[in-house]
Structure formats: C-alpha cells, structure tokens
Amino acid sequence: RHASTLPQRSDRFNKLTKSHIGELRKLVGSSSSILSTLDGSATEDDLKTYNNDWMNKYHGKSQVVARPRSTEEVSKIMTWCYENDIAVVPQGGNTGLVGGSNPIHDELIISLSSLNSVRSFDPVSGVLVADAGMVLESADGYLAEKGFIYPLDLGAKGSCQIGGCVATNAGGLRLLRYGSLHGSVLGLEVVLPDGKIWNGLSTLRKDNTGFDLKQLFIGSEGSIGIITGISILCPRRSSSTNVAVFSLSSYEDVQKVFSETKTHLGEILSAFEFFDAASYALVRRMQKHHGEEPKKVFEQEGDFYVLIETSGSNAEHDEEKLTNFVEHLMTSEMVLDGVLAQDTTQAHSLWSLRELITEACTKLGAAFKYDLSTAPGEMYDLVEQMRARLTEKGLLKGDWEGDVGAVVGFGHMGDGNLHLNIVAKQFSEKIQDVIEPFVYEMVKEKGGSISAEHGLGSMKAPYIGYTKSETSIEMMKQIKQMFDPKGLMNPYKYIV
C-alpha cells in the first residue's frame, strides 16, 4: 500500500469542529486533557508527536488529541464519539511499526498516556493489575522492587505502554521463556465502541465459564475497543542472568547451536536471538555516525551471530552450566568465536548489539520493515531471496552504492520470527513495488505469517489474505461488525 493510495476519508464520519471541542472539554475533568489546533490549545507542532509514527513513515492529520485520566473519562469520550459519529484512533506509546497508532485522516486520537498507575499487586499469586497507559519499563521497575518481572520485554520498553503491547500482542525478546500475552494476560478492562465499560479484569488463572472474551482484544490493535486496565501474571525475577554472544559461519550452524542450546540449557534459557553480518555492520555503522569508535567484540567475526541469555535462581549452578556449554561450543565446529559477559555492564553491551538494530535501520535510512514467521529452517531463505531480487533489479549494489543500502535479517530464532529489513536511502514507490507483494508471496509459499508480532495496522491490512483464509477473514469481519457496528474504531486499518 503506497502512502499516495491510502484510502479516501469516509464521509460516514463527522468532522470535528471548534464547538465539538467545547463539548469534549465538558466531559473531562481537566482542560489539559484535550489538545486541539481547532481552539488554539495546541499548535500543529504539538500534535506532530501524535500524528507521526516512530519511523516517521506514517503521517496523520488529526486536529484533536484527548488524554483521559480515568476509565470513566474514556467511557464518556467514547459515548460522545458514538453519538456523534466521530472516528477514533487509540494510541499508546506510539512505537508500533505498522502505522496502526496514527490517524490516516482527521480521526480523534485518544492517548492512554495519562492512565498510568498500578492498581494492585499480589505477591503470592504474582498478579499485577495496572492501567493500560503504564510504560512497560515502569511496570517492570515496579515489579523488580518486589522481586518479580514483567513477562514481556522489548527494545521499545522505555516508551511503549502495557496496553499498547496487549493491543498488538507484542512478542519481544523473552517470549521463548515466558510465552505469549495470550497466556499471561488474565483479564482486561475495556471501553467498548459505544462507551460501555467491560470489566473483565479477572485475576483468576483458571476460569472455564464460556468464551474467553479477553483473547479477542489481545492483538486487536484498537479495532474493537480501548483497553484501559490489564491483569497479568508475573513470574519471579531470576536472581542470576548471564549473556553470551557467538559468531558463526552459516545459518545451518545457527540452527545447530539453537538445538544444542535447548538440550544443554533447557530450563534456564531465557532468550535466543540471531542476527546476520549485515545487521551487525549496520549497528557498527550507526555507532561510527555517532562519533563512537566501536570496540572490537570478536577475534573472529562471522556471517551470523547468536545471543543466548540464561536466567535462573542459582548463580553458581547457572554459571557453571553456561561456562561448560560455551566451552563445548568453542571446541565444536559450530561457532567461530564467543564472548561471555563478565558483568552487568558487559551483558548490556552485548544485548545492545541486538537491540540497536531497529534504531540503526531507521536512523541510517528509510527502513522497509517485514516481520515474518516460518519454520525456523526456512527463515533465512527469505533474506537471501530478497537480496537476489534487489540485486537483479539493480537496486542493491556494493557497499551502499545502490538505492538500497542494506538488506538485513535478524530476529527471535526461538520463535521462528524473522525481521527482514530493507534499508533504502529513501522511501520510494519504485523500491516498494520490487519488494511487495514479492515478500508476501514468498511467505505464503512457505505457509508462514506476514506479521508474526507487529500486527497489521495500516501497512499490512490489505495483505491479510496471504496468511488467513477467506473463512477466517469473514469471521473476523463479523466480530468487528458486532463490537463496532459504526466502524468508528481505528478505521481504514486491520480488517478492511
């Protein structure tokens, strides 16, 4: 979908006017909860952070942002929107990567950022109940003080919100250990499109009384309601964490090491991430752009890298296990070189080799981002086929000599999730037409998913058929129609 061919504004929705702003203000307790260029309470510049996305790829034209401070205020605003046919976009930390959190036209943005408190925590069950607008890192920091951990971690933790993560069903860096949010979320509080509050904030682990309704909202990307509260099961924080990174010479070896890791480190394994030499080179390139001279990490660099993290409760036992395993790998033919973090600072710096890839892709050019899943054995074929296609079309040449600077592959090996990023000098329809729908056709051929963890948003809404059947899409449309008969919630996206 090109930016120039985004759907036209639908005239089913009313346009917001200055008098509407007055009405909205009466609904909320604080005047600072409504920001609008229509009454001069905000400038266009003030609204840029809400209208534009993290990658600066999607640009909405909303003139009004509401920042409710309670579930009741969200409910009043939604009731009013329902009565007045106003389209809305729920927004969390605005770190989504598929254009789901920004308006396409002039939709009202409802930001959850002022709804950010812990409601309760039970140290026996480990159940946290919190407002949806809490920043992930703050929720995890709160839990850390109590010896617990939030069962989700990702590079955007400093900005993304726990509600936004539930709305996208984010996967992240430790899904391998703690599983998907479909398993750890125990309950939700949601404001429905007509303003009704659904209190589904259960703290029970087991409850087989009818349909499990909360599951519909996990990964619903703001299409059927606004999540305002979350109840989530949080595990104990491990007292001992270790990190090692290895260089390898082939993707086949990455798979071998993954199997070996599961055999040897099974119960303490908490992450298994991989990245290729092009990703590593991109991070080094960004560090140089920042004026840093990147430190040498490996004696012998490779075509691939894996990061292994262990977390357990017995430091001595875990260290011994990991050290023996590192020795086993180093004496085998499977790895070229390896580094085992000696302290927390080194562990952070090894993690940053992996976590900085996203930033490097976006800072060094315009990143066409594809978040795909297939059987792990077939994942890297997608990167190789894409490189071959872009080379054949004359777009990828030498070291940043073509319109495309780099094609990188990295991701969550343990989850069969590849991030294929094509870093171009600038966004262009010509490049996009070479990539799409080719990329989706490759994935379909392998029986994979065109969106493993980032969702559909505006970017992938038209392509859902590459992964889902006609019958599945029909059922989804019926669900959307049932919750949101006026189609007010996050229009033009997700299910279109």
Q: 398-423 burial, b for 16+ CB within 10 Å, e for fewer? A: eeeebbbbbbbbbbbbbbbbbbbbbb
| Cα separation, 308 vs 301, whole angstroms | 17
Q: Which of 460, 392, 395, 386 is nearest to 424 (CA)?
A: 395
Contact between 307 and ligand FAD (CB under 6 A)?
Answer: no
Residue 160 partner contact from ligand MLT, ligand FAD, none using kind-dependent CB cut-offs of 5 to 8 Å: ligand FAD
Contact between 93 and ligand FAD (CB under 6 A)?
Answer: yes
Taking the complex as a whole, the smallest distance from the CB of residue 407 to ligand MLT amounts, in Å, to 14
Contact between 464 and ligand FAD (CB under 6 A)?
Answer: no
N- to C-terminal Cα separation, the chain: 13
Strands (E), 337-453: 337-340, 366-373, 404-412, 417-424
Contact between 170 and ligand FAD (CB under 6 A)?
Answer: yes
Which residue from 371, 403, 415, 484 is in contact with ligand MLT, where contact means CB under 6 A?
Answer: 371
Residue 24 partner contact from ligand MLT, ligand FAD, none using kind-dependent CB cut-offs of 5 to 8 Å: none
Burial of 460 (C-beta count, 10 Å sphere; 0-12/13-18/19+): buried
Contact, 98 vs 82, CB < 8 A?
Answer: no
What is the pattern of x (binds ligand FAD, CB under 6 A) and - over residues 127-146? -----x--------------
Residue 407 partner contact from ligand FAD, ligand MLT, none using kind-dependent CB cut-offs of 5 to 8 Å: none
How far CA 420 is from CA of 118, 272, 276, 369, 387, in Å, comes to 36, 17, 11, 6, 10
Contact between 155 and ligand FAD (CB under 6 A)?
Answer: yes
Taking the complex as a whole, the smallest distance from the CB of residue 240 to ligand MLT amounts, in Å, to 24
Strands (E), 92-239: 108-111, 118-122, 127-131, 185-191, 197-200, 226-233
Per the DSSP assignment, residues forming a β-bridge with 476 are none
Which residue from 51, 94, 241, 310 is in contact with ligand FAD, where contact means CB under 6 A?
Answer: 94
| Cα separation, 172 vs 157, whole angstroms | 10
What is the pattern of x (binds ligand MLT, CB under 6 A) and - over residues 396-435? -----------------------x----------------
Minimum CB distance to ligand FAD smaller for 94 or for 247: 94
Phi, psi of 246 (to 5 degrees): -125, 150
Question: Which of the stretches 20-28, 194-202, 326-334, 453-461 binds ligand FAD when contact is defined by CB under 6 A?
Answer: 453-461
Nearest to ligand FAD by Cβ — which residue? Answer: 164
Question: Which of the stretches 28-36, 95-103, 255-263, 269-277 binds ligand FAD when contact is defined by CB under 6 A?
Answer: 95-103
What number of CA atoms fall less than 13 Å from residue 290's CA on the CB side? 13
125-184 binders of ligand MLT (CB under 6 A)? 155
Residue 492 partner contact from ligand FAD, ligand MLT, none using kind-dependent CB cut-offs of 5 to 8 Å: none
| Cα separation, 223 vs 83, whole angstroms | 18
What is the pattern of x (binds ligand FAD, CB under 6 A) and - over residues 40-79? --------------x-------------------------
- Would you give the DSSP letter of residue 103? -
Residue 255 partner contact from ligand FAD, ligand MLT, none using kind-dependent CB cut-offs of 5 to 8 Å: none
Residue 419 partner contact from ligand FAD, ligand MLT, none using kind-dependent CB cut-offs of 5 to 8 Å: ligand MLT
* Ordered DSSP codes for 334-367: S-SEEEE--SHHHHHHHHHHHHHHHHHHHHSSEE
Which residue from 68, 163, 302, 405 is in contact with ligand FAD, where contact means CB under 6 A?
Answer: 163
How far CA 466 is from CA of 110, 381, 461, 472, in Å, comes to 31, 18, 11, 12
Contact between 189 and ligand MLT (CB under 6 A)?
Answer: no
Burial of 440 (C-beta count, 10 Å sphere; 0-12/13-18/19+): buried
Per the DSSP assignment, residues forming a β-bridge with 304 are 248, 276
Q: Which residues bind ligand FAD (CB under 6 A)?
A: 54, 89-97, 100-101, 112, 132, 154-156, 160-161, 163-165, 167-168, 170-173, 221-222, 226-227, 358, 453-454, 457, 490
Q: Which residues bind ligand MLT (CB under 6 A)?
A: 155, 358, 369, 371, 419
